Amino acid sequence: MAEPAVKIPDAKVALSTASVYPESTATAFEIAARLGYDGVEVMVWTDPVSQDIEALRRLSDYHRIPILAVHAPCLLITQRVWSTDPWTKLQRARAAAEKLDASTVVVHPPFRWQRQYARDFVSGIWRMANETDVRFAVENMYPWRYRDREMLAYAPDWDVTKDDYRHFTIDLSHTATARSDALDMVDRMGDRLGHVHLADGRGSAKDEHLVPGRGTQPCAEVLERLALTGFDGHVVIEVNTRRAMSSAEREADLAEALAFTRLHLASAVKVPRR
């Protein structure tokens, strides 16, 4: 005989500071603490506070909420943040993570026009990973689409499972945009899946980052699978709240995302009756 039990993995649920945009990095810490998130992931971008290690440390101490991950400045709008050299950006991201006691640096694969960087990216990520205890978790991306045209914007590939990395980040908004099978990607990443960006999408060519449960991605199923496999990485809420009509509406969206995540991480399992 067996009885159902609830198994909750060791994974912590964090708020990406990108989720409060256009509000500030400082606001993200305040909201994360008030709503009961386990920590934050800092998106390093044009907000000067996001680039300032001492300012981030003060925010973390003041709100008593840890920084669990640092997202390196890999976006088009951050090409000049922390240098124009991509390896320098990653070195600074690693240094920030080490000083802030963050366990993970999230990094995107290079753009195709960054030819030398792309050529050396896989071996370079391994080299940097071997120099630190910080995880470099390479994130899945997507083809760029416009009408009936598709552009492969990332190299070696937007599907990072085609290359050999020690750790991966899966982003469920990106699987929606790529129109790929998220559960299949989780399986292919296997025990190298170290980090999750939880969001939703409907398969639009636009990277939507919807609140989990509002799109077509198997967000609940992915979380339940993480629980069943004992995932011990971080689950980061990375959603787009730019259309929120007020701070209260934005906070309600982030509270809903947290509740959804915690609910589906609590997975029913069967244990032997004693």
Rg of the chain over all Cα atoms, to the nearest angstrom: 18
Total structural domains within the chain: 1
| Residue 44 forms part of a structural domain | yes
pLDDT tens digits, 223-272: 999 999 989 999 999 999 999 999 999 999 999 999 999 999 986 555 44
| Residue 135 forms part of a structural domain | yes
| Residue 1 forms part of a structural domain | no
pLDDT tens digits, 128-137: 999 999 999 9
Q: What is the pLDDT of residue 7?
A: 65
Which one, of 47, 60, 45, 64, lies nearest residue 100 by Cα? Answer: 60
pTM score, whole prediction: 0.93
Residue 195, beta-bridge partner list? 169, 234
Mean pLDDT for 119-126 is: 97
Looking at residue 74, which CATH number applies to its domain?
3.20.20.150
| Residue 138 forms part of a structural domain | yes
Domain hosting residue 139, numbered range? 7-266
Which one, of 180, 243, 233, lies nearest residue 68 by Cα? Answer: 233
| Residue 273 forms part of a structural domain | no
The mean-pLDDT minimum among 8-12, 202-206, 237-241 falls in 8-12
Q: How confident is the model at residue 76 (pLDDT cuts 50, 70, 90)?
A: confident
| Residue 114 forms part of a structural domain | yes
pLDDT tens digits, 19-43: 999 999 999 999 999 999 999 999 9
Q: Using the 8-state DSSP alphabet, how is residue 124 labeled?
A: H
| Residue 36 forms part of a structural domain | yes
Q: How confident is the model at residue 51 (pLDDT cuts 50, 70, 90)?
A: very high
